[in-house]
Amino acid sequence: MTLPNKQVLLPARSFASLISIWSMLKISAPVAAIISMMGRVFPQMCRQSGTLNAAGIVGLGAGVRHLLRVGVQEVRQKEIELTARLLEGLQELPGVSVYGPKNAARQTGTISINLARMDNAQACFMLDQEYGVMARPGLHCAPVAHRTIGTFPHGTLRFSIGLFNTREDIDYTLHCLREITQKNSRP
C-alpha cells in the first residue's frame, strides 16, 4: 500500500514487479514515488492528475489473463502460421508489392503491401465497404520508415493478424485482394 508523498523502493529486478508497482501507483495517483529498479532510480514516476482510464486498466488486465491462459508460445505459433499463409498468397497476386522480410518467423503478424496503380486509401475503402475486411492505409505514424523503404508520401496498406483471426479470414482476404487487383487491372 502507498500513501501520498511517500517513497516506494523496489529491490526486485523483475518486469512483473515494475508492472505491479506501476499499476498500484496509477491507481493511487497522484503519488510522489521513487522506484529503484535494476540499479536505476526513476523519481516521481507517477505524479498525475485527472481521471484514470479505468476501462483501459480493466481491459489490459483481462487481455493479460487471456494471453497467459492461452499461452504466449501458442499465440506466436498461430501468428506465424497465419502470417506465412498471407505472405504466400500475396506473392501469387500480380501487381502486389510486399514490404518486410517476407518470412513469417522473422516478423510480426503485420504485413504492409502496395497494389499497382491503386491508391492505398481507395483499396482500404473497397476492402471495408465491399468486403468487410479491415486494413489501414497510409504512413502508420512512421514517415521516416516509409522514406527508407521508398513508400513516402503514400505509405502502404497494412494488415494485422491477431489471435482471433482464422485461416478462413486469411483466405477471404486474399480472395478480396485478388478481385480488387483484377478490377484494377482492367483498362
Q: Using one digit for the tens of pLDDT, what is the confidence trace for 28-61?
A: 443 333 333 444 444 444 555 677 788 888 899 9
Going by pLDDT thresholds of 50, 70 and 90, the confidence category of residue 70 is: very high
C-alpha distances out from residue 157 to 7, 54, 124, Å:
47, 33, 7
Cβ count near 161 (within 10 Å): 22
Q: Which three cell numbers stand for residue 153?
A: 508520401
Looking at domain 72-185, its CATH architecture is Alpha-Beta Complex (3.90)
Domain extents in the chain:
15-52, 72-185
Per-residue burial over 12-23, b = 16 or more CB atoms within 10 Å of its CB, e = otherwise: eeeeeebeebee
Type of residue found at 110: T
Q: Whose CA is closest to 175, among 97, 80, 92? A: 92
What are the tens digits of pLDDT across the range 128-144?
A: 999 999 999 999 999 99
pLDDT of residue 45: 47
Could you tell me the pTM of the whole model?
A: 0.71
Which residues are the active-site residues?
141
Q: Across 54-169, where does the E strand assignment appear?
A: 96-99, 110-115, 136-138, 156-160
Q: How many helices, marked H, and strands, marked E, lie in the chain?
A: 6, 6
CB 46 within 8 A of CB 31: yes
